[in-house]
Amino acid sequence: MATTVIGFPRLGEFRELKFSTEAYFRGEISETALLEAAKQLRRKHWNLLKTAGITELPSNDFSHYDTVLDTAFLLNVVPKAVHELDLTDLERYFALARGYQGEKGDVRALPMKKWFNTNYHYIVPKFEKDTQVRLASNKIFDEFAEAQALGFHTRPTLVGPFTFLQLADYEEGTSPADFLESIIAAYQTVFEKLADLGAESLQLEEPILVKDLSAQEKALFLNIYERLLADKKGLAILVQTYFGDVRDVYTDLINLPIDALGLDFIEGKKTLELVSTGFPSDKILYAGIVNGKNIWRNNYEQSLAILEKIPAKTVVLTTSCSLLHVPFSTENEEFEATILQHFAFAVEKLAELRDLDTIVTKGAPDILAKNKALFELERVEKNTDLARRIAGLTEADSTRLPAFAEREVIQAKQLNLPALPTTTIGSFPQTAEVRATRLAFRKGEISAQDYDNFLAQQIDDWIGWQEEVGFDVLVHGEFERNDMVEYFGQNLSGYLFSKNGWVQSYGMRGVKPPIIWSDIYRLQPITVKWSSYAQSQTEKPVKGMLTGPVTILNWSFPREDLSIKESTLQIALAIKEEVLDLEAAGIKIIQIDEAALREKLPLRKSDWYEDYLDWAIPAFRLVHSTVAPDTQIHTHMCYSEFTDIIPAIDSMDADVISFEASRSNLVILDELKAQNFQTQVGPGVYDIHSPRVPANGEIDRTIETILAKVPSHKVWINPDCGLKTRGIKETRESLVRLVEAAKTARRGLQ
């Protein structure tokens, strides 16, 4: 059998691309040097794949920033303002991704969105009235030729036209239909040019096909492909899907004149069922059987059982999605061998594909036996007490009493806050000094006492400053935390942390998700010390600050031998202990962040409740269900894109929710009103994802808009999100404006 991968991590084994790119941004290395560094990485990666025995190598899966952006660049879908800048191609490319501010002009970056249900972000292309679609970049051709010259015959990959059109934004008055002809023509030119260069096949990535498709969307898809495939210029076309199954278009897909179809057998709940209905003998099935998202070893017996049921005549073994979503290699980790043997990062997954092929074609009982033995090991001891506690949970455990309306009255009396109370989301700027001191402490260069003194000093400064500016509900600032998930993971049993397990998140930035290794329970109180300390320094209420169970789970690599529901409930019980300890320590307001709740919403609406919200929301409620009525529970969510799940958010039964809103023009407020949202709300009035200080009067206008739509006794005034990544100066200036604007609005209410 042939073996391949959909794509390979781009940043490099030690994030070389990130470091070169940043050096280029700082002007320390030239464009040529950056391009050369990228070339070296591509060569290394092709070599690795080849050496690992992978028979079909992809090309153009590499990117200097993002492959959707590459596709926009290829198709000349570049906003006029950027087009007009007198820049080199690479500079213009980065201008789209990051904005450009300099001698040659001032343009804003294109927006960024999460790539399906991953933590990778793509750049959202924008079609404008005068967008002229035509081929405008040689990247895909150059990289094919580059590989060819090195002796690697590759299969170029490209975001498919349907996914591209569906993910793009459109200037008012334009729609996908306006660009259809030119897009199809452009893709056909790609076919032609690749064929001329000697390519035999092309992978068109169409992950959007795993979402629910309306009749209209389906018609658009078929329309595009029927015309696109009318002349393939001699290329074999692989339509590659991932992140789910293609139930809405399976029959159509297998009837199209494509040559190969790539399907996800890991996340695609119905993939096996679909192919069991038949797969044409003249097409190749690319079977995504090795998980491209998780870091655990493949269970060969299970994979073989799936492969056996696949009726296709020709199967190519591949990954469930691009390996971009897993770290590079376990070779640079320091786990004990007994632990490490359970992990497979990108490089190890290549060996798994080859193993599976060897087993299927040659038998190889020794390989199979070794893998079987690994899965028969009792990897971790089960915490039976915990399992029993979870099995015994009922609806009542996730129900807080009295009901919200009654608590609202009690809390108003008890807290006695002014109208439109002001607060922040938790973190204050993590300056170089804060980060350096934390690192010094971790390396043992400064004593625990010195570190504590440093943190106390930071808290004192910021508590004092918040009082001075006039905030109503204060925060301690989260200076002790490097990351809102890792910090909790480090204080919970059951977590492991990799040294080098970086995964691309946005641009050249990586995240290092912690690994859930075994059952999770709390080892000791986590946040009580610093929250109580901060509270002891002021008469004003200080918010306790926790990360919620769903977010902790979503930003970790989850176990595969336990359901994510069960793992989340374990985390929920641990965080619940923390909530109760904070309450006992006299903290009256506790915020439980669920920044990542929205992002793991299943891609299909029909799965939202059963597969996710039905357990995720009760898990959140479990965390706070037994606090006293006068303890006020806050939550925070990033992105206001929850218009579709407003009742679910309300049923988290928090007393107050803050959310990112200032970029979304507050459209969410109409929906909250229409759906009779009960929870008090703090829609962000200051965009913290930009260094910009809101202009005079800007926050005032935002507050007016909010008050026009939400009753004033339900409104809180706060920024969009935590301020950790911002500089001190802009933060302080902006927050002073925020408090002033709230005070002005408050006067207006009387």
Interacting residue ranges for ligand GLN, rule: CB under 6 A: 425-427, 478, 484, 545, 593, 595, 636, 638, 721-722, 724
218 is in an annotated binding site: no
330/266 Cα distance (integer angstroms): 22
119 is in an annotated binding site: yes
Least separation in angstroms between residue 134's CB and Zn ion is 40
Q: Say if residue 595 is exposed, middle or buried (CB neighbours under 10 Å; 0-12, 13-18, 19+).
A: buried
297/74 Cα distance (integer angstroms): 37
526/707 Cα distance (integer angstroms): 37
Q: How far is CA 494 from the centre of its chain?
A: 23
Least separation in angstroms between residue 720's CB and ligand GLN is 9
* Closer residue to Zn ion in complex, CB, 59/554: 554
* Closer residue to ligand GLN in complex, CB, 545/710: 545
Picking from 667, 664, 749, 665, the residue whose alpha carbon sits closest to that of residue 714 is 749
Helix 139-149 and helix 31-51: axis angle, to 10°? 60
CB 668 within 8 A of CB 661: yes
Evaluate the omega torsion of the peptide bond into residue 111 and state whether it is cis, within 30 degrees of 0. no
Residue 307 binds what, of Zn ion, ligand GLN, none (CB under 5 to 8 Å, by partner type)? none
* Closer residue to ligand GLN in complex, CB, 261/721: 721
Least separation in angstroms between residue 724's CB and ligand GLN is 5
Least separation in angstroms between residue 725's CB and ligand GLN is 9
State the number of CA atoms in the 13 A half-sphere of 401 facing the CB: 3
* Closer residue to ligand GLN in complex, CB, 224/717: 717
Least separation in angstroms between residue 434's CB and ligand GLN is 13
CB 207 within 8 A of CB 242: yes
Pairing label, strands 2-3, 314-319? parallel
Structure tokens at 119: 């933590």
N-terminal to C-terminal alpha carbon distance within the chain: 76
Helix 139-149 and helix 67-74: axis angle, to 10°? 110
Residue 484 binds what, of Zn ion, ligand GLN, none (CB under 5 to 8 Å, by partner type)? ligand GLN
668 is in an annotated binding site: no
* Closer residue to ligand GLN in complex, CB, 92/724: 724
Q: Does 545 bind Zn ion (CB under 5 A)?
A: no
Q: What is the C-alpha R_g of the chain?
A: 27
* Closer residue to Zn ion in complex, CB, 70/594: 594
Which helix (H) or strand (E) segment holds residue 318: the answer is strand 314-319
425 is in an annotated binding site: yes
Neighbour-count burial for 644-668, b at 16+ CB within 10 Å, e otherwise: ebbebbbbbbbbbbbbbbbebebeb
15 is in an annotated binding site: yes
10 Å Cβ neighbour count for 13? Answer: 19
Least separation in angstroms between residue 739's CB and Zn ion is 20
426 is in an annotated binding site: yes
* Closer residue to ligand GLN in complex, CB, 210/425: 425
Q: Does 147 bind Zn ion (CB under 5 A)?
A: no
Residue 426 binds what, of ligand GLN, Zn ion, none (CB under 5 to 8 Å, by partner type)? ligand GLN
Structure tokens at 12: 């490099």
**Angle at alpha carbon of residue 51, lines to 45 and 54, rounded to 5°:** 85
Residue nearest to Zn ion (CB): 721
One symbol per residue from 586 to 625: x for binding Zn ion (CB under 5 A), - otherwise; what is it? ---------x------------------------------
Residue nearest to ligand GLN (CB): 722
17 is in an annotated binding site: yes
Total residues at interface with Zn ion (CB under 5 A):
3
555 is in an annotated binding site: yes
538/540 Cα distance (integer angstroms): 5
* Closer residue to ligand GLN in complex, CB, 154/591: 591
Q: What would the DSSP string read from start to end of 679-716?
A: SEEEE--S-TTSSPPPPTTHHHHHHHHHHHHS-GGGB-
Residue 427 binds what, of Zn ion, ligand GLN, none (CB under 5 to 8 Å, by partner type)? ligand GLN
Tokens 């278009």 belong to 249
487/144 Cα distance (integer angstroms): 43
Least separation in angstroms between residue 593's CB and Zn ion is 7
150/136 Cα distance (integer angstroms): 25
539 is in an annotated binding site: no
Of 342, 634, 689, 713, which one is the catalytic site residue? 689
Eight-class DSSP state of 574: H
Q: What number of residues does the chain have?
A: 750
Least separation in angstroms between residue 15's CB and Zn ion is 25
Backbone angles phi, psi at 687, to 5 degrees: -75, 105
* Closer residue to ligand GLN in complex, CB, 515/545: 545
Least separation in angstroms between residue 669's CB and Zn ion is 18
Structure tokens at 293: 């998202």
* Closer residue to Zn ion in complex, CB, 186/595: 595
Q: Which residues ranging from 625 to 654 are in contact with Zn ion (CB under 5 A)?
A: 638
Residue 249 binds what, of ligand GLN, Zn ion, none (CB under 5 to 8 Å, by partner type)? none
Backbone angles phi, psi at 498, to 5 degrees: -85, 160
10 Å Cβ neighbour count for 464? Answer: 12
One symbol per residue from 491 to 530: x for binding Zn ion (CB under 5 A), - otherwise; what is it? ----------------------------------------
CB 212 within 8 A of CB 605: yes
660 is in an annotated binding site: yes
Which helix (H) or strand (E) segment holds residue 116: the answer is none
Q: Tell me whether residue 83 is one of the annotated catalytic residues.
A: no
615 is in an annotated binding site: no
One symbol per residue from 550 to 589: x for binding Zn ion (CB under 5 A), - otherwise; what is it? ----------------------------------------
Least separation in angstroms between residue 658's CB and Zn ion is 8
3-state secondary structure of 344: coil
Q: Which amino acid is at 421?
A: P
Question: Across-strand partners of 261?
Answer: 239, 285
Q: Of 721, 735, 741, 742, which lies in the binding site for Zn ion, with binding defined by CB under 5 A?
A: 721
Residue 160 binds what, of Zn ion, ligand GLN, none (CB under 5 to 8 Å, by partner type)? none
Least separation in angstroms between residue 595's CB and Zn ion is 5
190/198 Cα distance (integer angstroms): 12
CB 246 within 8 A of CB 188: no
* Closer residue to ligand GLN in complex, CB, 83/663: 663
Picking from 188, 75, 68, the residue whose alpha carbon sits closest to that of residue 120 is 68
Instruction: Report the binding-site residues for L-homocysteine.
Output: 425-427, 478, 593
Instruction: Report the binding-site residues for 5-methyltetrahydropteroyltri-L-glutamate.
Output: 15-18, 114, 119, 555, 599
Q: Which residues are catalytic?
A: 689
Instruction: Report the binding-site residues.
Output: 15-18, 114, 119, 425-427, 478, 555, 593, 599, 636, 638, 660, 721
Instruction: Report the binding-site residues for L-methionine.
Output: 425-427, 478, 593
Instruction: Report the binding-site residues for Zn(2+).
Output: 636, 638, 660, 721
Binding site for Zn ion (CB under 5 A): 595, 638, 721
